[in-house]
Amino acid sequence: GRKYGYKLENKFVVYEEKVNGENWFGINLDGIIHIRSRTIWKREYPTLPDLTKEKLIEDNPDITSERVDEILAKLEARRNNPQKSKWWKALDDTPGLKDFLMSNPNLGVFGELINTKGGFDYGVPTGQVRVFPFDLMKLDGTFWNPVERYHLLNNYGIQLPFCYNLKNGIYEEMLFDRALCEKLAEGKSNHNPKHVKEGIVVSSLSEEVIDGDRLKLKWVGNSYLEKSTDESEVTIE
């Protein structure tokens, strides 16, 4: 946002809180739900390695017999009590999300997988992971505008990232304001005041595309960057 914000000048925009999680995508194709992270399609139950005592010793000549027994025991315990992938568990933990996907085939949901990053639970109960959707994509690669997205997902009771335009269920038109962006990006999260806000996302109200790029920009808060250890987040070219 600080680099490309000028592209939003004199435009109506939507201001939403940027929540800190992992990328999640789900879609219903021909009655079957498919889920992926940012780059990898996920199985509902991760495939476990086919390890044997002989294979472990062959690949790790210095391994102790106690360590071999420990590894094989843990593997057997996981086979007897398989753990669902967190990307799939989120489908169960997020109220309304499975119903939405089954009722809206060929419509992809992009969201943040929440309560997987330490210190950023956004009020999600311990032991649960949820998806906060931030985009709806059609099969042709185009996206629903923010207002349409809100109304459709809200019909299923799905929680969305906090939106500053939304007042009593009605979207207020707001022009782009750089000073407001800097202000909104700071402070405590609207979802859980116990932790700092990551920042905001500012997007064109009309779902505008310029030279193939969507006009949707991230404004990361300085207070979040001061705590971040991810160099890719704090580098501004």
Per-residue pLDDT of the chain (237 residues; tens, 9 = 90+): 999 999 999 999 999 999 999 999 999 999 999 999 999 999 998 777 888 888 888 888 888 988 988 988 888 877 877 788 999 999 999 999 999 999 999 999 999 999 998 889 999 999 999 999 999 999 999 999 999 999 999 999 999 999 999 988 889 999 999 999 999 999 999 999 999 999 999 999 988 888 888 999 999 999 998 876 554 444 433
Q: Bridge partners of 25?
A: 36, 110
Q: What is the dihedral of CA 208, 213, 214, 216, to 10 degrees?
A: -120
Look-up of token digits 């000028």: 6
Look-up of token digits 């044997």: 52
CB 136 within 8 A of CB 112: no
- CA separation, residue 102 to residues 32, 82, 154 (Å): 8, 25, 16
CA distance 195 to 189: 6
CA distance 27 to 19: 21
